[in-house]
A and B are shown apart, each in its own frame.
Chain A
Amino acid sequence: DSGVTQTPKHLITATGQRVTLRCSPRSGDLSVYWYQQSLDQGLQFLIQYYNGEERAKGNILERFSAQQFPDLHSELNLSSLELGDSALYFCASSPRTSGRSTETQYFGPGTRLLVL
Chain B
Amino acid sequence: GENVEQHPSTLSVQEGDSAVIKCTYSDSASNYFPWYKQELGKGPQLIIDIRSNVGEKKDQRIAVTLNKTAKHFSLHITETQPEDSAVYFCAAIYGSSNTGKLIFGQGTTLQVKP
Query: Is B8 in the interface zone, CB < 8 Å from A?
Result: no
Query: Is B43 in the interface zone, CB < 8 Å from A?
Result: yes
Chain A residues near B98: list those with CB within 8 A. 50, 55-56, 99, 101
State whether A101 and B93 are in contact (beta carbons under 8 Å apart), knowing that A42-B106, A48-B100, A96-B100 are contacts in the complex.
yes
CB distance from B73 to the nearest CB of A (A): 14
State whether A48 and B43 are in contact (beta carbons under 8 Å apart), knowing that A43-B89, A56-B95, A102-B51 are contacts in the complex.
no
Identity of the chain A residue whose Cβ is nearest the Cβ of B31 in the assembled complex: A102
CB distance from A18 to the nearest CB of B (A): 24
B43 and A105 contacting across the interface, CB-CB below 8 Å: no
Q: How far is the CA of A104 from the CA of B105 in the complex (A)?
A: 17
CB distance from B21 to the nearest CB of A (A): 15
- The 0/1 profile, CB within 8 Å of B marked 1, for residues 23-40 of chain A is 000000001010100000
Number of A residues near B (Cβ < 8 Å) is 29
Number of B residues near A (Cβ < 8 Å) is 27
- The 0/1 profile, CB within 8 Å of A marked 1, for residues 42-73 of chain B is 11111001010000000000000000000000
Taking Cβ atoms with an 8 Å cutoff, the residues of B that contact A are 31-32, 34, 36, 42-46, 49, 51, 89, 91, 93, 95-107
Q: Which of A105, A108, A109, A110 contacts B100 (CB 8 A)?
A: A105
Chain B residues near A90: list those with CB within 8 A. 43-44
- 3 nearest CB pairs, A to B: A56-B99, A102-B32, A107-B43
Q: Which of A35, A96, A101, A107 contacts B45 (CB 8 A)?
A: A107
State whether A110 and B43 are in contact (beta carbons under 8 Å apart), knowing that A100-B97, A104-B34 are contacts in the complex.
yes
CB distance from A97 to the nearest CB of B (A): 13
Q: How far is the CA of A35 from the CA of B38 in the complex (A)?
A: 14
With A31-B100, A104-B46, A105-B100 known, 19 other A-B pairs at CB within 8 A are A33-B100, A42-B104, A42-B105, A42-B107, A43-B91, A43-B107, A45-B101, A45-B103, A55-B98, A56-B101, A99-B98, A100-B97, A101-B31, A101-B100, A102-B31, A102-B93, A105-B102, A107-B36, A107-B43
